């Protein structure tokens, strides 16, 4: 079988360089992927009991190997098409074609009626999942909206509730985790369906970098981060014969939908083999919102590596012989993808290694103290070093104003406490679950830690190391500020250490849920009761996972639209090859990056505003569109970059648009309207 996979990789290369048949390339890529994941997943035969488990673990390992190897090759200027196909040819030989050792035997149902009922519900479940996916896809919009719920039909919530009820019902009779994947895929793909052009600002930046790597073979200067994603996207684009945008868009949501339920299932099997808990517990991650896995960023991919690693460590500590080299592989892939997540994870792995293998090490206690303190301090120290090397958005400054920092931290805590609704309506009901969701998570982690100390002693380690990133979070929150970030974004970096802490607690949360479910489920007289309750909570979590605009929560960002794309193309045309800069919001800046990449810099600054804290155009734009009026005096500092043409872009949805537009028309030298006035572009000549 390894030879067949290698032969497939050679055919992929021939199609890439010679035949260039689109659908043949996709088919060959998928065949190679399945063969390689099956072979490499064979290294996890002691853990995997189902074929989908073996394939999922094979996908995890394959992805990590590619991410790490390709990143290293990049630093030596060796990452290219030849390296991609060479790696594809060699990868299958790292696996094994051995059959599953512990594959469960199929058992007949108690009666023909039960078998028929279960089969019909399974078919209904798959059909309903397909209907929901198509319904969401048909709701796609090119208009500017602040939340996907503005265009999702209300009937979708009913259908999601029915789908949740069906998967909960199937948990009573089915054991294979393959049934979890369609539900996860629906849950995590909403943004992809609703925003065909893309969602957010960061994905456009990363896609432009990936395209730059694809066309030039390098990125200059060589970055110390994000390469784990950039090289991975380029690898898959060539192997699967798909565009960079397609691969990037689906990378994290699809990997998360395939990997999170399976790795959670693998861990759950070491706690219980009883129905329905074996399939119920792997649904738990959806309850606590997986927003970071709904679109692709290096941060989301690194978080996925963190979650996989901690679940693998927990499963190994319960007696499964997961090769330790895989744990190092996952953590190093996380480091190359996003050091903010990867470095604490690498520190935790060093602590684990000292605990498992450091018996004969000289000065073992000293090494443990260094590893523990280093893991807690690695991120604050990294920010300090970066601040010393060069100013950026990540620059930090010591803050002696402890009271202000404590108050900001306290306000964040208050937001996650339970509340008593003013009156019971739908939003209040949802936020009765949504507001205290983090508090519930932590309580479950404490229950899990208590249970670990009683019955699962090896899992105590998880609770002990999870606190280390939290220490780094407190240090940054209480004693440092980010001077190049606006006041409302001071938590932009520090909150990620809190996110990592929560990810590390996942094995204990699953353990706590297991204890709670054993206590609560018997209290329901009929299965219908807990299925209905679980369905309602899953629907609420689905709503809470995405941007919202309701009485309790107001997301302010708008998506990039076709009108934004038209605006940046018009500006490029009207500039007539002369240098220019643009003052615009993030949606328009994202459109420019999408259309023209990183084409123009003046005095080291990108020619559109970037909210990095060091781009002067961003502050000029805020002064013109938010804090003042777009007069020539306010616009003039943008021309200090040595540019005579300054364009201002105002979207109709912007606050005070009418007032701003009136002033801009009087002050600008000329102006244009796009799409019946949805966007107005003004040019100031200096």
Count CB-CB contacts under 10 A for residue 464. 14
State the average pLDDT over residues 180-188: 98
392 or 644, which is more confident: 644
Comparing CA positions, the residue from 335, 265, 279 lying closest to residue 56 is 265
Write the burial class of residue 508 (CB in 10 Å: 0-12 exposed, 13-18 middle, 19+ buried): buried
State the average pLDDT over residues 290-316: 97
Residues 6+ apart with CB under 8 A from 76: none
State the average pLDDT over residues 623-643: 91
**SS3 of residue 465 by DSSP:** helix
pLDDT at 308 over 50: yes
Write the burial class of residue 436 (CB in 10 Å: 0-12 exposed, 13-18 middle, 19+ buried): middle
pLDDT of residue 271: 94
pLDDT at 587 over 50: yes
- How would residue 471 be classed by pLDDT, with cut points 50, 70 and 90? very high
Query: CB of 250 within 8 A of CB of 240?
Result: no
Query: CB of 235 within 8 A of CB of 36?
Result: no
610 or 424, which is more confident: 610
Structure tokens at 163: 């789908």
pLDDT of residue 54: 95
pLDDT at 20 over 60: yes
- How would residue 414 be classed by pLDDT, with cut points 50, 70 and 90? low
* The pairing of beta strand 605-606 with beta strand 397-398: unpaired
State the average pLDDT over residues 44-67: 94
Task: State which of 140-154, 270-284, 601-615 shows the largest mean pLDDT.
Answer: 140-154
State the average pLDDT over residues 445-471: 96
pLDDT at 421 over 70: no
Question: What are the start-end ranges of the E strands in 311-357?
Answer: none
pLDDT of residue 116: 79
Query: CB of 319 within 8 A of CB of 270?
Result: yes
DSSP secondary structure of 82-114 = HHHHHHHHHGGGGS--PPPSSPPPP---SSHHH
Query: CB of 164 within 8 A of CB of 132?
Result: no
Q: Which helix (H) or strand (E) holds 9?
A: helix 2-14
pLDDT of residue 484: 82
Structure tokens at 330: 């996952």
Query: CB of 5 within 8 A of CB of 35?
Result: yes
Residues 6+ apart with CB under 8 A from 127: none
- Lowest-confidence segment of 153-162, 180-189, 336-345, 618-627 by average pLDDT: 618-627
Comparing CA positions, the residue from 129, 127, 43 lying closest to residue 92 is 43
* The pairing of beta strand 580-583 with beta strand 645-651: parallel
pLDDT at 420 over 60: no
Over the stretch 30-52, which tens digit does the pLDDT of each residue have? 999 999 999 999 989 888 889 99
Comparing CA positions, the residue from 657, 514, 673 lying closest to residue 585 is 657
- Lowest-confidence segment of 114-118, 123-127, 547-551 by average pLDDT: 114-118
Query: CB of 348 within 8 A of CB of 468?
Result: yes
Give the whole-angstrom CA distance, residue 470 versus residue 225.
22
Q: What is the mean pLDDT of the chain?
A: 92
- How would residue 632 be classed by pLDDT, with cut points 50, 70 and 90? very high
Task: State which of 218-222, 233-237, 596-600 shows the largest mean pLDDT.
Answer: 233-237
pLDDT of residue 335: 98
- How would residue 423 be classed by pLDDT, with cut points 50, 70 and 90? low
The answer to whether the peptide bond before residue 599 is cis (omega within 30 degrees of 0) is: no
- How would residue 275 be classed by pLDDT, with cut points 50, 70 and 90? confident
Phi, psi of 605 (to 5 degrees): -115, 140
- How would residue 464 be classed by pLDDT, with cut points 50, 70 and 90? very high
State the average pLDDT over residues 74-80: 96
Query: CB of 682 within 8 A of CB of 645?
Result: no
pLDDT of residue 108: 47
Query: CB of 591 within 8 A of CB of 565?
Result: yes
Over the stretch 642-657, which tens digit does the pLDDT of each residue have? 999 999 999 999 888 9
- Lowest-confidence segment of 366-375, 387-396, 626-635, 649-658 by average pLDDT: 387-396
Query: CB of 532 within 8 A of CB of 165?
Result: yes
- How would residue 4 be classed by pLDDT, with cut points 50, 70 and 90? very high
Give the whole-angstrom CA distance, residue 54 versus residue 541.
29
Q: How far is CA 230 from the centre of its chain?
A: 14
Q: CA 417, 400, 619: angle at the middle one, nearest 5?
A: 80
**SS3 of residue 581 by DSSP:** strand
Query: CB of 328 within 8 A of CB of 61?
Result: no
pLDDT at 110 over 60: no
State the average pLDDT over residues 578-603: 96
Query: CB of 467 within 8 A of CB of 501?
Result: yes
Give the whole-angstrom CA distance, residue 657 versus residue 574.
23
Of the chain, the end-to-end C-alpha distance in Å amounts to: 68
pLDDT of residue 394: 80
């Amino acid at each position: 079988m390894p030879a067949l996979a290698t032969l497939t990789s050679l055919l992929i290369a021939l199609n890439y360089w010679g035949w260039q048949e689109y659908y043949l390339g996709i088919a060959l890529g998928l065949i190679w992927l399945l063969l390689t994941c099956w072979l490499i997943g064979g290294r996890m035969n002691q853990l995997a009991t189902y074929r989908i488990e073996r394939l999922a673990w094979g996908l995890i390992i394959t992805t990590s190997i590619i991410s790490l190897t390709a990143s290293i090759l990049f630093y030596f200027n060796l990452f290219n098409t030849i390296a991609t196909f060479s790696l594809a040819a060699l990868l299958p030989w790292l696996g094994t074609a051995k059959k599953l050792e512990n594959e469960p035997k199929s058992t007949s149902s108690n009666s023909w009626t039960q078998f028929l009922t279960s089969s019909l519900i399974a078919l209904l479940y798959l059909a309903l999942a397909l209907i929901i996916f198509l319904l969401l896809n048909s709701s796609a919009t090119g208009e500017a909206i602040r939340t996907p719920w503005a265009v999702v039909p209300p009937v979708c919530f009913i259908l999601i509730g029915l789908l949740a009820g069906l998967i909960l019902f199937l948990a009573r009779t089915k054991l294979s985790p393959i049934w979890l994947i369609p539900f996860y895929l629906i849950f995590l793909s909403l943004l992809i369906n609703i925003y065909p052009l893309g969602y957010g600002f960061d994905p456009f930046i990363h896609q432009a970098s990936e395209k730059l790597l694809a066309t030039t073979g390098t990125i200059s200067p060589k970055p110390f981060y994000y390469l784990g994603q950039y090289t991975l996207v380029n690898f898959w684009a060539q192997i699967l014969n798909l565009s960079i945008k397609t691969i990037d868009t689906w990378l994290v949501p699809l990997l998360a939908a395939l990997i999170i339920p399976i790795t959670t299932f693998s861990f759950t099997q070491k706690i219980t083999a009883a129905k329905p808990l074996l399939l119920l517990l792997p649904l738990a991650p959806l309850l606590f919102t997986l927003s970071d896995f709904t679109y692709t960023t290096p941060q989301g991919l690194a978080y996925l590596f963190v979650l996989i690693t901690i679940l693998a460590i927990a499963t190994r500590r319960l007696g499964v012989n997961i090769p330790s080299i895989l744990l190092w592989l996952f953590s190093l892939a996380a480091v190359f993808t996003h050091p903010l997540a990867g470095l604490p994870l690498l520190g935790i792995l060093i602590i684990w290694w000292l605990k498992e293998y450091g018996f004969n090490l000289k000065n073992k206690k000293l090494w443990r103290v260094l590893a523990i303190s280093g893991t807690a301090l690695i991120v604050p120290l990294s920010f300090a070093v970066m601040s010393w090397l060069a100013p950026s958005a990540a620059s930090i400054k010591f803050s002696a104003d402890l009271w202000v920092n404590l108050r900001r931290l306290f306000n964040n805590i208050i937001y996650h406490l339970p509340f008593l609704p003013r009156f019971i309506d739908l939003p209040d009901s949802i936020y009765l679950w949504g507001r205290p969701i983090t508090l519930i998570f932590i309580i479950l982690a404490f229950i899990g830690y208590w249970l670990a100390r009683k019955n699962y002693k090896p899992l105590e380690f998880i609770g002990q190391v999870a606190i280390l990133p939290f220490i780094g979070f407190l240090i940054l929150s209480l004693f440092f500020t980010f001077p190049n970030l606006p006041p409302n974004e001071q938590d932009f970096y520090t909150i990620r250490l809190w996110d990592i802490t929560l990810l590390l607690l996942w094995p204990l949360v699953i353990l706590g849920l297991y204890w709670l479910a054993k206590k609560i489920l018997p209290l329901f007289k009929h299965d219908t009761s807990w299925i209905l309750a679980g369905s309602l909570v899953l629907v609420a979590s689905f709503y809470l996972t995405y941007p919202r605009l309701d009485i309790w929560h107001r997301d302010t960002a708008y998506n990039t639209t076709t009108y934004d794309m038209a605006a940046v193309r018009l500006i490029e045309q009207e500039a007539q090859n002369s240098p220019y800069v643009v003052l615009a919001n993030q949606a328009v800046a994202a459109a420019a990056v999408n259309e023209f990449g990183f084409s123009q810099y003046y005095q080291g600054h990108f020619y559109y505003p970037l909210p990095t804290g060091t781009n002067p155009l961003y502050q000029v734009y805020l002064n013109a569109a938010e804090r003042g009026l777009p007069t020539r005096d306010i616009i003039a500092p943008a021309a200090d970059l040595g540019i005579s043409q300054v364009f201002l872009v105002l979207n109709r949805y912007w606050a005070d648009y009418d007032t701003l537009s009136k002033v801009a028309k009087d002050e600008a030298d000329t102006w244009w309207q796009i799409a019946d006035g949805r966007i107005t572009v003004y040019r100031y000549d200096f």
